[in-house]
């Protein structure tokens, strides 16, 4: 079994053969992937060494100390956090070999085509159709709230392949080529002024059956792998103490003593403690992930993340008083990534409102925690055994 010392030796060899100071960034990342140091718990030949997942921290620390470049994980977060685990679990050997390397290196950006105008919280009610045509599937429908669609090369997509089956059992999961002529991406302008999200129209898009993940009609089960990983990646990201939005609020408090009141101090302390509890809970969740795939606990983390961000941003605006009402830029932009901490307080306040919607609404996540973590009785669902085509819409 690969141990920490062996990994350090492999890192030293990588650095000797590809010095970061003189090696092209992309070439270095490709060499790291080929050396099995991308995600060490993945199989040999797919960026890993079949090593314990916990040892990834050893590799990352050694490379960071040497000044090696990273793969800009924020820009390719959907690929890393959602597409890659699903490709690994359900993709053919050809699919895994084709997609994982450029995904990890950042040569190909991914997006997620799940939600629809009539199927957001009730995702299983989706109506985008996939019809078999020889060795291809022909896709027609509309998706919405798609982050990174305007820069994505590939997408993970779920579509309905059997309208006669109940809604959870007639779905199939695909990899979609975003450069297909039938894919149209339109920006959705948000309350922040920018268009971070998109709506995507699919008209006669052809997807080869080789790009299907899992069995026909089993897409809902495959999608659960994506969704569970998504919630961990949103709510359980590793941050240092006072990292993220609580750090911005604490810095303002220390640098602006004239803004302080006893009541605001009490509320700040409460939120600081909540943020630290969330950070430590995230560390424990990541330790549990070493043993296997993420479970419903990730939903609790994402739920807490949304509530905490909204409370922190609200207190920051209140602390700043009139200054908190200022908004530096309200112009139409299509950013490649979301910057929660690099903008002003007004931006953080407005953007955090979306935290309780993206990655699963807080209401849906409460149901998941209640049923799958706490073991409470499920809510009545009278449509589970009704054919999708017979559901009221």
DSSP per residue, 5-61 = HHHHHHHHHHHHHS-TTTS-HHHHHHHHHHTT-SSTTSPBTTTB-S--GGGHHHHHH
Residue 291 binned pLDDT confidence (cut-offs 50, 70, 90): low
Alpha carbon separation from 41 to 68, 80, 91, 149, 187 (Å, rounded): 20, 14, 17, 29, 37
Residue 382 has pLDDT above 90, yes or no: no
Instruction: Tell me if 79 sits within 8 A of 71, measured CB to CB.
Output: no
* Residue that wins the pLDDT comparison between 123 and 379: 123
Residue 191, judged by CB atoms within 10 A of its CB (0-12, 13-18, 19+), counts as: exposed
pLDDT of residue 100: 98
| pLDDT higher than 80, residue 284 | no
Residue 302, pLDDT score: 84
Which candidate, 252, 372, 270, 227, places its Cα nearest to that of 317? 252
Catalytic member of 62, 230, 297, 316:
230
Centroid of chain to Cα 273: 26
Q: Is residue 112 very low, low, confident or very high in pLDDT (cuts 50, 70, 90)?
A: very high
Could you give the domains of the chain? 1-70 (no CATH), 110-217 (2.40.110.10), 223-373 (1.20.140.10)
Region 208-220: mean pLDDT is 98
List pLDDT tens digits, range 133-162: 999 999 999 999 999 999 999 999 999 999
Burial code (b: 16+ CB inside 10 Å, e: under 16) for 75-87 equals ebbbbbbbbbbbb
Query: Is a pLDDT exceeding 60 seen at residue 290?
Result: no
pLDDT at residue 232, as a whole number: 62
Phi, psi dihedrals of residue 334, rounded to the nearest 5°:
-125, 80
Give residue 294's pLDDT band: very low, low, confident or very high (50, 70, 90): low
Q: What is the pLDDT of residue 260?
A: 93
Q: How far apart are the first and last CA of the chain?
A: 54
Average pLDDT over residues 232-256: 82
Name the average pLDDT for the chain.
91
230 is catalytic: yes
Give the separation between CA 288 and CA 226, rounded to whole angstroms: 18
Alpha-carbon torsion (288, 290, 292, 296), positive or negative: positive
What percent of the chain has a predicted confidence (pLDDT) above 90? 68
Does the structure show a pLDDT above 80 at 1?
no
Residue 384 pLDDT grade (very low, low, confident, very high; cuts 50, 70, 90)? confident
d(CA 353, CA 264) in angstroms, rounded, equals 21
Instruction: Give the residue, 383 or 249, on which the prediction is more confident.
Output: 249
Element (H, E) at 129: strand 129-133
Supply the pLDDT for residue 289.
Answer: 61
pLDDT at 238 over 70: no
pLDDT given for residue 252 in this prediction: 94
302 or 137, which is more confident: 137
In this predicted structure, the answer to whether residue 189 has a pLDDT above a threshold of 70 is yes
Are β-strands 154-160 and 110-113 bridged in parallel, bridged antiparallel, or unpaired? parallel
pLDDT in tens, 322-359: 999 888 777 888 887 777 777 889 989 999 998 888 87
Q: How confident is the model at residue 293 (pLDDT cuts 50, 70, 90)?
A: low
Three-state secondary-structure class, residue 307: helix
pTM: 0.89
Residue 229: its pLDDT value, please? 74
Residue tagged 């000044």 (tokens): 67
With the CA atoms of 24, 29, 31 and 33 taken in that order, what torsion angle do they form, in degrees rounded to the nearest 10? -170
């Amino acid at each position: 079994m690969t141990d920490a010392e062996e990994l350090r030796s492999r890192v030293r060899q990588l650095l000797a053969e590809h010095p970061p100071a003189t090696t092209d960034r992309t070439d270095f990342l490709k060499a790291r992937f080929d050396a099995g140091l991308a995600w060490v718990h993945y199989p040999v030949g797919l960026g890993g060494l079949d090593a314990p997942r916990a040892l990834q921290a050893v590799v990352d620390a050694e490379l960071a100390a040497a000044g090696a470049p990273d793969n800009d994980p924020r820009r390719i977060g959907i690929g890393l956090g959602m597409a890659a685990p699903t490709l690994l679990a359900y993709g053919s050997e050809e699919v895994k070999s084709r997609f994982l390397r450029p995904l990890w290196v950042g040569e190909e950006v991914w997006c997620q085509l799940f939600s629809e105008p009539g199927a957001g919280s009730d995702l299983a009610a989706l109506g985008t159709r996939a019809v078999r045509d020889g060795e291809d599937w022909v896709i027609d429908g509309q998706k919405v709230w798609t982050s990174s669609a305007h820069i994505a090369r590939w997408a993970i997509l779920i579509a309905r392949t059997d309208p006669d089956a109940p809604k959870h059992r007639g779905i199939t999961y695909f990899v979609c080529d975003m450069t297909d002529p039938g894919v149209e991406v339109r920006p959705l302008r948000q309350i922040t002024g920018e268009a971070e999200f998109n709506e995507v129209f699919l008209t006669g898009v052809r997807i080869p059956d080789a790009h299907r993940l899992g069995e026909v009609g089993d897409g809902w089960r495959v999608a659960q792998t994506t969704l569970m990983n998504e919630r961990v990646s949103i709510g359980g990201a590793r941050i240092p103490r006072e990292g993220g939005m609580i750090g911005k609020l604490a810095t303002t408090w220390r640098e602006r003593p004239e803004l302080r009141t006893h009541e605001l101090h009490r509320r700040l302390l409460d939120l600081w403690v909540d943020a630290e509890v969330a950070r430590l809970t995230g560390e424990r969740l990541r330790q549990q992930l070493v043993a296997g795939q993420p479970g419903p606990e990730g939903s609790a983390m994402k739920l807490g993340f949304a509530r905490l961000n909204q409370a922190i941003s609200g207190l920051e605006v209140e602390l700043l008083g009139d200054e908190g009402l200022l908004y530096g830029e309200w112009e139409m932009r299509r950013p490649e990534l979301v910057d929660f901490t690099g903008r002003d307080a007004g931006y953080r306040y407005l953007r955090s409102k979306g935290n309780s919607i993206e990655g699963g609404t807080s209401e849906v996540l409460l149901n998941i925690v209640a049923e799958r973590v706490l073991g409470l009785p499920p809510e009545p669902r009278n449509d589970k055994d009704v054919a999708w085509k017979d559901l009221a819409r």
